[in-house]
């Protein structure tokens, strides 16, 4: 294990989904706090623009394509001998059910499976640094999920809202299971709800989701990207076990309740095993 980072030394913080929204806001805030931020985004132009604006490195990957996630993991491993924080922030809401080139429902893949794969491919880096893994989840995990461990691809039942809620619940279950499987190796994990963020987040959604995020009246009720980014940055800068609880789920920087399913260790373990099978990984204990 590499020596722990001293309080006055910068951490290396990888943020996915950082080309816009709360990811970009958190990247700027963490750079101002003196941290080394690695900006990861899907759009090359916007990702470069965010990174150059704060003088930090960047990488491009579309989480709807798992081959690009694997290539991203190789790039990160080659470029950064130490990763202190991995913030799995990429994701989105979609309209009609869409299947990716990898054969998985798009909401589930972009919000959970891709992050699961990336995190596992970086496992030795995370263990070596005693890193923190942060998941951007949502209150949708409690409000909209209809979680079925035997229908992760939503082949039997699909709606944009339930698919998103299920994926955000998967983020929390993944957080709990990281703590169970890797906690003794020094890896900590937490999930959080950033707020209902006023950004381009739901640009591909339809119906009430698109209305809420794009209507000029309802959009005034949304949380700013700076506030949402600050909640990610708070976890990234905090010390697990001191500033935030191992395996905790946070709303406005406070422990919060979520779906009762998130507390089920059997479902968390089965999700890990099914996810590993889907992306072609061995099951690590």
Closest CA to 79 of 14, 3, 136, 129: 14
Tell whether the torsion through CA atoms of 108, 109, 115 and 120 is positive or negative: positive
Distances, alpha carbon 176 to alpha carbons 70, 90, 190, 247, in Å: 23, 19, 8, 5
Distance of alpha carbon 255 from alpha carbon 248, whole angstroms: 6
DSSP-H helix ranges across the chain: 21-32, 44-54, 66-79, 106-108, 114-121, 123-129, 140-143, 160-182, 207-214, 225-237, 265-279
Distance of alpha carbon 227 from alpha carbon 101, whole angstroms: 34
Please report the DSSP string for 262-274 in residue order. GG-HHHHHHHHHH
**Out of 158, 164, 249, 250, which one is annotated catalytic?**
164
Residue 80 among the catalytic residues: no
Residue 41's DSSP bridge partners are 60
**Close Cβ partners of 123 (under 8 Å, ≥ 6 residues apart):** 182, 284
Distance of alpha carbon 189 from alpha carbon 198, whole angstroms: 26
Please report the DSSP string for 189-256 in residue order. EEEEE--SB-SSTTTT--HHHHHHHH-TTGGGGSBPHHHHHHHHHHHHHSPBTTTB-TT-EEETTEE-
Position of tokens 């983020």?
A: 171
Catalogue the active-site residues. Answer: 164
């Amino acid at each position: 294990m590499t020596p722990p980072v001293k309080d006055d030394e910068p951490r290396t913080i990888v943020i996915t989904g950082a080309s816009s929204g709360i990811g970009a806001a958190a990247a700027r805030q963490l750079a101002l706090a003196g941290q080394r931020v690695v900006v990861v985004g899907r759009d090359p132009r916007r990702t470069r623009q965010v990174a150059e604006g704060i003088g930090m490195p960047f990488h491009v990957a579309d989480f709807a394509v798992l081959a690009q996630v694997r290539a991203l993991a190789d790039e990160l491993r080659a470029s950064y001998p130490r990763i202190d924080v991995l913030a799995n922030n990429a994701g989105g809401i979609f309209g009609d059910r869409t299947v990716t080139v990898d054969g998985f429902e798009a909401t589930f893949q972009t919000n959970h499976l891709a992050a699961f794969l990336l995190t596992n491919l970086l496992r030795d880096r995370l263990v070596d640094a005693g890193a923190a893994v942060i998941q951007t989840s949502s209150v949708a995990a409690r409000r909209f999920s209809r979680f079925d461990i035997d229908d992760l691809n939503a082949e039997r039942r699909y709606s944009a809202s339930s698919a998103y809620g299920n994926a955000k619940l998967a983020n929390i279950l993944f957080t709990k299971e990281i703590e169970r499987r890797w906690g003794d190796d020094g890896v900590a994990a937490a999930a959080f709800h950033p707020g209902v963020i006023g950004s381009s987040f739901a640009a591909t959604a339809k119906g009430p989701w698109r209305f809420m995020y794009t209507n000029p009246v309802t959009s005034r009720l949304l949380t700013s990207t700076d506030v949402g980014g600050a909640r990610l940055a708070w976890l990234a800068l905090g010390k697990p076990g001191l500033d935030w609880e191992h395996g905790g789920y946070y709303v406005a920087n406070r422990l919060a309740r979520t779906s009762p399913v998130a507390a089920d260790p059997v479902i968390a373990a089965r999700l890990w095993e099914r996810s590993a099978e889907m992306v072609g990984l061995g099951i690590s204990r």
